[in-house]
Every structure is written in structure tokens, then in C-alpha cells.
Amino acid sequence: MTFVTIENLSFRYSPKQPRIIDGFSLSLRQGEIVGIPGPSGSGKSTLLRLIAGLEVPETGKIVIAGRTVVDDRTYVPAEKRGVGMVFQDYALFPHLTAEQNVMFGLHRLPRQQRAGRVREMLELVRLTEYAKRYPHELSGGQKQRVALARALAPQPSLLLLDEPFSNLDEELKASIRRELRDILRQAGMTCILVSHDRADIEDICDRAVALGVPLAV
């Protein structure tokens, strides 16, 4: 049973430029974690932006959890897609604490449930004691976990991870990778992860897909 379907997706930034994504297709089962490796500039991040609704494709169709979010006639904007995303630079709001960052996406939840959900999320990423800190008071790995908690909090149907380790020290990477994998499994998330580092994908993902041709691990 496919949960996410991407069909024949194409995109270019301007009519004069060649297509950066050309006829890409992919399907995911629920709870599956798929990795997309590739050098920078190969269109990986663009693909995530298209899925999230931050860019509009030239052609193609994306269906998430049975709902068509984009095709030739439809465009569901980012805020209505229910797709979570962890940005490469984490994009934690600098004027909000870790807790407030996680709370930010919970405006649709009844007020009395929000605090509980935030606590739950911070426990999941083991940052409960850092709740009141501002982003600039957190380490790189802690920021990443806040960003993850923030993206998971509204219970998105699909989570996108854009180069989640590129801002971390080499020594930290291995342990943080394992941690991330455990959190994602625990949450049962359907994920797409892009990285220029194959090791990231081998450690975390169920399978890898190249932009263009599917390939097996």
C-alpha cells in the first residue's frame, strides 16, 4: 500500500535554465524511511521543497496519504500540506525558546493539550532540561533535535530531512545518526532524507533512491 506517490515530477527555476528535476517518480510505504544521496546542486533540496509546497513543479503529481497536493490543476500551499521539514540550517526562530519553537506549529491543537505535546516531544528528543533556552544557547546537535521535535510536533504525515548532519562535527555524527534513527523509528514516521554523505543514508534509511533512476542498497 503506497502512502506517498510522486509521479513524473519536473522543475526548473526559470524558463531559460535546464530542468533541475526531470521526470522524477517515487513511492513510499507508510513508516518507510527513504534516502536520496547525491552531490550538492543535484536538485535534492529542490525535490524536498517541491514536496513541502515551497516550490511549484512544472509538471507532475504528488499524492500524500491519499490526497493530491499538487498536479496540473491543484496546488495545496505549504501550510496546508501536513508535511514536516527539518531544514539544513534548522531555521530555529531566534526570538523563541526551544519550547516555544516546538509549540509554534501546534496552533490547531486545543490550548490545554499544547503544553503536554511539547513536553512529550522534548522528552522524545531528550531535551527537557533545555526547554527554556534560546537557539543561540544550544549546541549544533541540540539545535538539530529541537528542529526535529518542532517538525514532528504537529504530527505530519510525511517528514522531510534536508542534509540533517551537514552542520555537525564529524565526531558527533555517528552517535547523532543513531539517535535520529531511533527517534524516527519510535515515532513511526514516513521520511525522505537527502544527504551528500552516503554513510548517513546507509545508517538511517530503509532504501536509497537516486534522482532519476531508482537503485537498491
What is the distance between the alpha carbons of residues 154 and 204, in angstroms, rounded to a whole number?
Answer: 22
For the chain, the first-to-last Cα distance in angstroms comes to 21
Strand partners, 33: 191
Binding-site member from 20, 65, 91, 131 for another protein (CB under 8 A): 91
Provide the minimum distance between the beta carbon of 147 and another protein in the complex, in angstroms, as a whole number: 8
What are 130-136's contacts with CB under 8 Å, separation 24+? 130/98, 131/97, 131/98, 131/99, 132/97, 132/98, 132/99, 133/97, 133/98, 134/94, 134/95, 134/96, 134/97, 134/98, 135/90, 135/92, 135/93, 135/94, 135/96, 135/98, 135/101, 136/94
* Distances, alpha carbon 16 to alpha carbons 20, 24, 56, 65, 72, in Å: 12, 20, 17, 34, 21
Neighbours of 176 (CB within 10 A): 18
- When asked if residue 187 is in the footprint of another protein (CB under 8 A), the reply is no
- When asked if residue 141 is in the footprint of another protein (CB under 8 A), the reply is no
Binding-site member from 2, 23, 41, 75 for another protein (CB under 8 A): 75
Provide the minimum distance between the beta carbon of 129 and another protein in the complex, in angstroms, as a whole number: 24
Q: Scan for cell 532524507, then name that residue.
A: 193
Site string for another protein, 41-60 (x = CB under 8 A): --------x--xxx-x----
- When asked if residue 20 is in the footprint of another protein (CB under 8 A), the reply is no
What is the distance between the alpha carbons of residues 212 and 61, in angstroms, rounded to a whole number?
Answer: 16
- When asked if residue 78 is in the footprint of another protein (CB under 8 A), the reply is yes
Binding-site member from 28, 60, 64, 81 for another protein (CB under 8 A): 81
Binding-site member from 21, 105, 127, 148 for another protein (CB under 8 A): 105
Nearer to another protein, 106 or 208 (CB): 106
- When asked if residue 199 is in the footprint of another protein (CB under 8 A), the reply is no
Provide the minimum distance between the beta carbon of 179 and another protein in the complex, in angstroms, as a whole number: 21
Nearer to another protein, 15 or 66 (CB): 15
Nearer to another protein, 6 or 208 (CB): 6
Binding site for another protein (CB under 8 A): 49, 52-54, 56, 72-75, 77-85, 87-89, 91, 93-95, 104-105, 107-108, 150-151, 154
